[in-house]
Amino acid sequence: MTQTPQIILASGSAIRADILRGAGVSFAIAKPDVDETIIKSEAAEADKTLEQMAMMLAEAKALDVAKTTNAIVIGADQILEFEGRAFDKPQNMDEARARLIEMAGAAHTLINAVAIARNGRITWRNLERPRLRLRALSETEVDAYLAAAGPEILTSVGAYQIEGVGARLFETIEGDHFSVLGLCLFPVLDCLRREGALAF
């Protein structure tokens, strides 16, 4: 009888773990030891696109964990692109406030890269680009939102969490809901089925 492969999520992201758990996927978590700053610097020096940079990060995370196991390892990364610029997670609430005010009334893109590694090599990749438009928010509204949401929003590149009160900030969202959250669930599930890790 063929043994069902183990699945490992190479991420410390609580929302990515919640997405997989919600779909009934059994998995372990292993935080990768990857210096994202170095990878981003190398990507910039090599004139890589933001999509390529996001995929480099996702692959590096998956490969770092995959080097010590024969499990199916899922790595992911998300970069916010606004007016041609890339944004990381805000460092503090002041930075989050400034970002939301700057993006208010305009559209931005979340570049969501996912890579799966097995036996020390990348076996699958997926890239999504959901597009989101914030309402024309006043500074008072932004302040009210930050007070309601709290510092937990600093774990999000956009300083919002659409699965919660952050949904009230938006005018439109185009693209896959799960990719906005940080993990393209349906393509990942399809890959896991093909790898024999899921019964259905």
Which residue is associated with the tokens 């590096």? 60
Q: Where are the domains of the chain?
A: 7-194
Spatial separation of the C-alpha atoms in residues 8 and 117, rounded to whole Å = 10
Chain segment 117-132, per-residue pLDDT in tens: 999 999 999 999 999 9
Q: Has residue 55 got a pLDDT over 60? A: yes
The mean-pLDDT minimum among 12-16, 53-57, 59-63 falls in 12-16
Question: Looking at the chain, which runs of residues are DSSP E strands?
Answer: 7-9, 28-29, 72-82, 85-87, 107-118, 121-128, 131-134, 170-174
Q: Which fold has domain 7-194?
A: Maf protein (3.90.950)
Q: Is 77 assigned a catalytic role?
A: yes
Spatial separation of the C-alpha atoms in residues 36 and 79, rounded to whole Å = 12
Per-residue confidence (pLDDT) for residue 88, from 0 to 100:
87
Cα–chain-centroid distance for residue 125? 14
Q: Across the chain, what does the average pLDDT equal?
A: 96
Q: What is the gyration radius of the CA atoms in the chain, in angstroms?
A: 17
Q: Has residue 136 got a pLDDT over 70? A: yes
HSE value, Cβ hemisphere, 13 Å, CA-based, for 14:
7
Chain segment 171-197, per-residue pLDDT in tens: 999 999 999 999 999 999 999 999 999
Q: Which of 35, 77, 88, 143 is catalytic?
A: 77
Q: Has residue 2 got a pLDDT over 70? A: no
Spatial separation of the C-alpha atoms in residues 94 and 99, rounded to whole Å = 9
Q: Has residue 1 got a pLDDT over 70? A: no
**The whole model's pTM is what?**
0.93
| AA identity, residue 74 | I
Per-residue confidence (pLDDT) for residue 3, from 0 to 100:
82
